[in-house]
A = this chain, B = another copy of it.
C-alpha cells in the first residue's frame, strides 16, 4: 500500500463520485471550544464514503469479471452495488437480517441481489465463499483489500486539498473507524500529502477494538458484535492490512458513547443541515465532546444512511 495506489484510485473514480464539501458552523465551534471542520461524506453518492472504495476495487478487476460479491451491513453493499452496475457486471450482497431496511432497499435499487443471513447462527464467510466459487464472482472485502483502502484513501487527498484551501495548517483528523479501511487509506494519504494533519480513529464505546489494539500494539477483538446504534462501524477486530498502517500513521484512538453519537446527529441536523447516521457521526461527536483535543479538528462525517426512527430518536435526545 502506498500513495501511488491512492492517486491511481483517485484517477479511476474521478467523475464517478461526488467531491464533498468541508463545512463549518460557528455554533458548533462554540460548543466544542475549538474550530471544527466537517468533511460531509454523507453527501457522497450512495450516502457514504464506501462508494469510493467500491468503485476503486471494481474498476481494478481483470477484464471479463462477470460479477462481484460483498458482505456488508449496508454502506459497503451500496458502494459495491453501484460500482458493479456502473461497470455492467452482476453484484451479490450478503447482508445480516437485522441491517437497516433503508440500506437493504437502496442496495436492491442499485440492481444488486441481496442474500440475507443470521449474524448469530450462520457463517457469513462460508456463505460468501460458496457463492463466489459457484458463480466465479470476485469477492470485494469491506476493508482488508488494497484497492478498497486506496479508494477510501482518496478522501484523504481531498481533505489535504480542502485544508490547504481553508488555510488550516495543523489539525487532528478524526475518522469513524470500523475495520479501518477508511482510516488507513486516509492516514496514508495524509502522511504523504499533508503530514501536519494527524489522524485519530473514533469508535463507539464497547466496540473500541482499534483504540485498544493501537494502545497494545497488537490486534485485539471486541467482546461482542451488536448492541450499539452505530451499526455501520461494528467490526470484530482491526484488519490485517489496515492495522499496521494505522499503528504507523495514527494517533491514539478516541471513543464516544452512543448518546454522544446521537447528540452529534442532532447537532449536525441543527447547525450543518446534514443528515448523518450515528456511526457516521462518531468523529463529530469526538470533535464536540472529547477532552484531550487541541486546536483545529477536521472530522469525517462518513455516512448518512440512517433509519428514520433512529433519526427521530436522535432529535428527541436533547442535552
Contacts and interface: CB of A to CB of B under 8 A. Distances in A.
A20 interface: yes
A139 to B, nearest CB: 25
Contact of A18 (B21, B47, B312): B21
Contact of A269 (B21, B26, B106, B275): B275
A40 interface: yes
A102 B270 contact: yes
**Interface size class, chain A:** 20 to 34
Nearest to A30: B109
Contacts of A30: 109
Contacts of A275: 269, 273-275
Given A19-B21, A20-B21, A21-B21, A43 B273 contact: yes
A161 to B, nearest CB: 13
A176 interface: no
Contacts of A272: 43
A259 interface: no
A18 to B, nearest CB: 6
Contact of A273 (B27, B42, B312): B42
Interface of A: 18-21, 23-24, 26-27, 30, 40, 42-43, 45, 47, 102, 106, 109-110, 269-270, 272-276, 304-305, 308, 311-312, 315
9 contacts: A19-B21, A20-B21, A21-B43, A40-B43, A43-B272, A269-B311, A273-B304, A275-B275, A308-B315
